[in-house]
Structure 1
Amino acid sequence: MEQLTTGAGVSAAGKQDISTLDGWQQAGKWFSYGGHAIFSRMAGQGEPLVLLHGFPTASWDWSRVWPMLARHYNLLTVDMLGFGFSDKPRNYRYSIEDQADLVQGWIEGLGLPGIHLLAHDYGSTVAQELLARDQEGGLGFTVDSLCLLNGGIFPEVHNPLLIQRVLGSPLGGLISRGLTRSMFERNFCRLFGSRNPPGQQEMDEFWHLLTYNNGRGILHELIHFMEERRCHRNRWVGALQNARQPMRLISGTADPVSGAGMVRRYRELITDADVVTLRNVGHYPHFEQPWDVFTAYRAFRKQPGLS
């Protein structure tokens, strides 16, 4: 892969400081995908664990659970095209398949023979596409396990917020360009459970990531993934049903978009479903309750054949 730039946020002790959003960015690297700059982060040691983020946020979502996971695994994550610190081109045909191409090319370029996947929301759908390709023999590496957090993996029970529905409508471009901070906060905060709602600093960080590189102007283009989920439902749900790899779902059941209903559907459709539910936790369990997510994931990886 073509390397563009490298930054490193260094603390007084000589270690990268990722406790702030600026430190997270400075500790990252960029590579080129189709002429566009893609932000990535890598840290830790052990087996490769690829973390895939959700919509409309970025890899920063993983920052609270990152130090815990990095003690056990070689962590790799990206801001997918159109998100976070990566480029956000206008008039681009954003799609789940294209994001899967990005992730696949990145991993193959790193020469990794196999990876484990931990994915959330939008990233869960990218993971489903990668899983389908793995089953078809279309990857240059193996997917050795898959752990999913809250996401619309079954479109028939996905319950998007009104603003998401409007963004996907013919009015989406106007709403996207006219999105205000107060509109964003009002809708975004609805996704969180009662145990740990985001504070003002966290909202500042999420808003900065959203608006970086004029990100508001493309939200209506990114959100076509909801229609893609419906169009490719059989392929992506089938990938989960046909998976030979160990899988686990960790779900915040207070999520109004993809919480308890998604858990019920997962148990209906996935044989011997492995599910961990987190009460009073919303759509971002890894940000709301990172310790609970870490312990649930660590227990998953300690199962026979995965440790």
Structure 2
Amino acid sequence: MPEHPGLVPRQIHRFRQGKMGIAADVLAVEEPLNIRITSGGATRSVAITMRTPGRDEDLARGFLFTEGVLPAEVKVTVEIEKENVVTVTLPTGQSVDWKRLERHSYTSSSCGVCGKTSLEQVYAAVPYGDVPGVAFRVIPEVINILPAKLREAQELFEETGGIHAVGLFDLSGGLLHFAEDVGRHNALDKLIGYALKQGLLPLDQHLLLLSGRASFELIQKAAMAGIGLVAAVGAPSSLAVALAEEMGVTLCGFVRGGGFNVYCGEKRLVY
């Protein structure tokens, strides 16, 4: 088993071919991460998210950006002070709207908001809303090769079989970066947080692959980063499709077995 903070060994009883035996297994770690902001000498907790340990700095950066809390141009200092606590310090003169954070509720697909209000709130928050357009086109064969490339890179999934992944690809299907986590939204925040730290945003000439289904919050986070095409191994939700269509994002689902469905933005695909 490779050394990784996101893996933990476990002895289990395994039933195979009518017999029960003791075996060694590996589990994906799930622990809470407390994300805090320090601004003007005051430090407050912004969120507690259940995640797989590792790349907590990327996760904090990506979360605060994709949730619309901090703009991309703000140069913050990120410090992992102790286990499961990360503090993001704003530069002198930069403030955060604490009242807005208290009202901040639209970004989760399970928060109870839906329909037109959700789409309008997200559209107002996206910094690269006009970037994607139809600026690039992709042949279907490129979409079909993405799952195998991401699967090959998934170290934690290989060990546990119970973890989500997201992959960022170039327009020819080359894997540029990926992230894994027990939470699909955390995996995407880690990936976008890395891109943010590297100064790569907007990701308007890239493809994004989700290892599972495409939910509203994942499309929202992708749109925040300026991504124009999102593909998923699983199915999208109705609100995810509505948001993708509103944001001009091409959304593909059920990418498996040499084919896929296109739910909106088909003009980016060359047949």
How high is the TM-score relative to the length of structure 2? 0.28
Q: Where is the helix percentage greater, Structure 1 or Structure 2?
A: 1
Instruction: Name which one, 1 or 2, has greater alpha-carbon Rg.
Output: 2
How high is the TM-score relative to the length of structure 1? 0.26
Q: Where is the strand percentage greater, Structure 1 or Structure 2?
A: 2
